[in-house]
Every structure is written in structure tokens, then in C-alpha cells.
């Protein structure tokens, strides 16, 4: 890492740490939502950016993680929050693998369609499992517990989210330098070339599915605590589309790209809320302008500027 890069990371971490002291309460909440979306974007990017499997079903994975963590917190209040988050992530990863393995045969648009279908099926499954999820009435999520401590303030929830997000971002950055990460990079550049060089493409694609679902599931658990209320219609196809927008606008196959994309899209959605009916109009125009003037996403545009 260059000195400038190290400085940037340090500044970012410091900003994360002091944010609740300087920002108004609402912006602490907004920052938590951004961090949740950052984790999802990284998870989705592992799948779509690196192994070329575009998913329009990640709202479904987010829902599985959110409901698993929420129901565990309700039914087993003794469990510390980190355990429930990891269990939520693992449950989502299990579903991801069960769904991903048969989908290995599918390419391109067929996989996209299958994941879209997956999202719809999950929403309806939540409605049907109303014994656990309270169906359409929605589920109120109790405060996360860390030992005797209840994380019931916005700042506490923010710190929990920020800590988990930092660990997961660091893990993703380091993943790229491992054997697995190099395999992902090879698949990103060319699947056929990777296969020819002896990379077991199917195994790594499956792994990417599991990892992606794990990231999204953990993010779902955090989402449950941050928002405090779950209902199936919050996890519709438009949310999945938003996640895809984040990684393409930010930059496919790049961790900083996921962070930038998730931040920009979340802030835009929030900032444009005041424009009511004009919001989608402005958001749509921005998307078009962004892709016309910054093809390949913002990270690529930034690196082009820096090289000049």
C-alpha cells in the first residue's frame, strides 16, 4: 500500500470513529445504512464482479440474514450479537450454496433470471412462514445484546455496524491476495483462460456464491438491528436492482468501487427524498449521465483522472 493509500485508510477509520460525536442523530442512522449497503455491495461484487454471475436476488439473501438474526434474537435472547450475526450469515450462505450449485450450469441472463425468481420466492416464503416471521404484519426487532449490554441507541448500533463492516472490508481486501482471490481475479479476466490454466472454475464460482451470500446475510442481520422493523415488502426486487446499481456505478470487481457505489447510491436516495415525485426522474437521469460519462464506473474514472 502506498503512503497516500495508508493515509486515506487512516483518515477514513478516524472519520468512522468520531462520526457519532460530530453528526446529528439522523446522519448517524444514515451512516449505519450506508455501512450495511457497503457490506452487501462487496458481497454482490464478489459474485458479479469477479465471477461474472449477475444477481438480481440479493434482496432475498439480505432478507434471509435479517430474519434469521431477528428471530434468533427474539427466541434466544441470551446469545451475544456477534453469534447471531454469524449464524445469520451462515444460514444465508447455506441457502446460497443450495441455490448456487444447481445454478452453476446457467450462464449470463439465465442466471440473472434465476436469481430474480429466487428473490420473488423468498418474499413469498416469508409471508407464508408467518409463525416465525409474522408475515405481512412485520416483525419488530429487539435491541442487539452484547453480554449484559443492550445496544439500543443509534450510536451503539452504528458502532456495531462500523466494526463489523471494517472487519469485512479488510477481509475482502486481503482475500484478493490469497490463492482464492487470485483465482477470482483470473475468472474475472477470462473464464476460459482461467479454466485452461488449471483454475477449478466451478469450485470457485460455488465458493463465490457462498461467500457472497454470507456477506449479504451478515449485512441483513445488521440491517435488522439498524432499521428495527422487518416486513417482506422491504426486500422487493427494486432493492436487488439498487444493489446492482451500486456495484456497476461504483465499479465491478473492485472493493473500493463497492464502497463508493454503496455510499453514492444510498446518499442520493436519501438526499433526493425531498423531491418526492421528481426523485426517480432525477435519479434515473443521474444514472444515465454517470454511465455515459464514466463508462466502467466511478473507480475507473477516478484512476483515469489520477493517471493524467
Partner 1 sequence: MTAATLVHVVVSGLATGSIYALMALSLVIIYNATRTLNFAQGEMLMVSTFVGWTAQRAFGLPLAVTLLVAVVAAGVMGWLVERIVIRRSIGATHWDVLIITLGLSLMLRAGAGLAWTHDEFPFPSFFGSRPIALGPVRLAPVSLGIIGASLALMAALYALFTWTRVGRAMRAVAQNQQAARLMGISVERVYASSWMLAAMVGAVAGVLVAPVVFLSSKMGLIVISGFTAAVIGGFGSMPGAVLGGMLLGVIENLAPLYLPSGIRYSVPFLVLIAILLVRPAGLLGRIEQRKV
d(CA 275, CA 258): 26
By CB under 8 A, tell whether 280 contacts partner 1: yes
Binding of partner 1 at residue 288 (CB under 8 A)? Answer: yes
Whether residue 112 contacts residue 55, with contact meaning beta carbons closer than 8 Å, is answered with: yes
What number of chain residues touch partner 1 (CB under 8 A)? 46
Distance in Å, CB of 252 to partner 1, minimum: 6
Shorter beta-carbon distance to partner 1: residue 69 or 258: 258
Q: What is the DSSP string of 260-303?
A: HHHHHHHHHHHHGGGGGGGHHHHHHHHHHHHHHHSTT-HHHHHH
DSSP bridge partners of 230: 139
Binding status of residue 271 toward partner 1 by CB under 8 A: no
Q: Is 273 in the site for partner 1 (CB under 8 A)?
A: no
Grid cell digits, residue 105? 450450469
Q: Record the cell numbers describing residue 221, joined without a space.
A: 442481520
Nearest-approach distance from CB 155 to partner 1, in angstroms? 34
Spell 53-62 as b/e; 16+ CB within 10 A means b.
bbbbbbbbbb
Q: CB of residue 118 vs partner 1: minimum separation in angstroms?
A: 8
Based on the shown chain and the rule CB under 8 A, indicate whether residue 202 belongs to the binding site for partner 1: no
* Secondary element (H or E) of residue 226: helix 201-227
Show Cβ contacts of residue 61 under 8 Å, excluding neighbours closer than 6 positions: 43, 92, 95, 96, 212, 213, 216, 217, 220
Grid cell at residue 138: 412485520
278 binds partner 1 (CB under 8 A): yes
Identity of the residue, 114 or 168, whose beta carbon is nearer to partner 1 in the bound complex = 114
Select from 2, 3, 22, 102 the one that contacts partner 1 (CB under 8 A). Answer: 102
146 binds partner 1 (CB under 8 A): no
- Closest contact distance (angstroms) between CB of 13 and partner 1 is 31
Query: Rule CB under 8 A: which residues touch partner 1?
Result: 54, 102-103, 105-107, 109-110, 113-114, 116-118, 120-121, 124-125, 127-128, 190, 192-193, 196, 237, 241, 244-245, 248-249, 252, 277-281, 283-288, 290-292, 295-296
Amino acid at each position: 500500500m502506498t503512503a497516500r493509500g495508508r493515509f486515506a485508510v487512516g483518515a477514513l477509520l478516524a472519520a468512522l470513529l468520531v462520526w457519532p460525536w460530530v453528526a446529528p442523530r439522523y446522519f448517524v442512522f444514515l451512516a449505519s445504512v450506508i455501512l450495511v449497503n457497503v457490506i452487501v455491495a462487496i458481497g454482490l461484487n464478489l459474485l458479479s464482479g469477479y465471477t461474472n454471475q449477475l444477481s438480481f436476488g440479493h434482496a432475498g439473501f439480505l432478507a434471509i440474514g435479517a430474519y434469521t438474526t431477528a428471530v434468533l434474537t427474539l427466541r434466544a435472547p441470551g446469545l451475544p450479537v456477534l453469534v447471531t450475526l454469524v449464524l445469520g450469515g451462515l444460514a444465508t450462505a447455506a441457502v446460497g450454496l443450495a441455490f448456487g450449485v444447481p445454478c452453476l450450469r446457467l450462464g449470463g441472463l439465465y442466471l440473472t433470471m434465476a436469481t430474480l425468481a429466487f428473490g420473488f420466492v423468498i418474499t413469498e416464503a416469508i409471508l407464508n412462514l408467518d409463525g416465525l416471521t409474522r408475515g405481512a404484519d412485520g416483525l419488530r426487532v429487539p435491541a442487539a445484546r452484547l453480554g449484559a449490554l443492550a445496544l439500543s441507541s443509534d450510536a451503539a448500533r452504528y458502532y456495531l455496524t462500523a466494526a463489523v463492516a471494517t472487519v469485512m472490508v479488510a477481509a475482502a481486501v486481503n482475500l484478493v491476495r490469497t490463492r482464492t482471490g487470485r483465482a477470482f481475479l483470473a475468472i474475472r479476466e477470462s473464464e476460459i483462460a482461467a479454466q485452461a490454466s488449471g483454475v477449478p472454475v466451478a469450485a470457485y464460482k460455488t465458493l463465490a456464491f457462498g461467500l457472497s451470500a454470507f456477506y449479504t446475510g451478515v449485512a441483513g442481520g445488521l440491517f435488522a438491528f439498524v432499521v428495527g422493523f422487518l416486513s417482506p415488502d422491504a426486500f422487493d426486487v427494486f432493492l436487488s436492482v439498487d444493489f446492482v446499481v451500486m456495484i456497476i456505478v461504483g465499479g465491478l470487481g473492485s472493493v473500493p468501487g463497492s464502497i463508493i457505489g454503496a455510499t453514492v447510491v444510498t446518499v442520493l436516495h436519501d438526499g433526493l427524498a425531498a423531491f418526492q415525485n421528481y426523485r426517480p426522474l432525477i435519479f434515473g437521469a443521474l444514472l444515465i449521465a454517470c454511465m455515459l460519462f464514466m463508462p466502467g464506473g466511478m473507480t475507473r474514472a477516478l484512476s483515469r483522472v489520477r493517471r493524467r
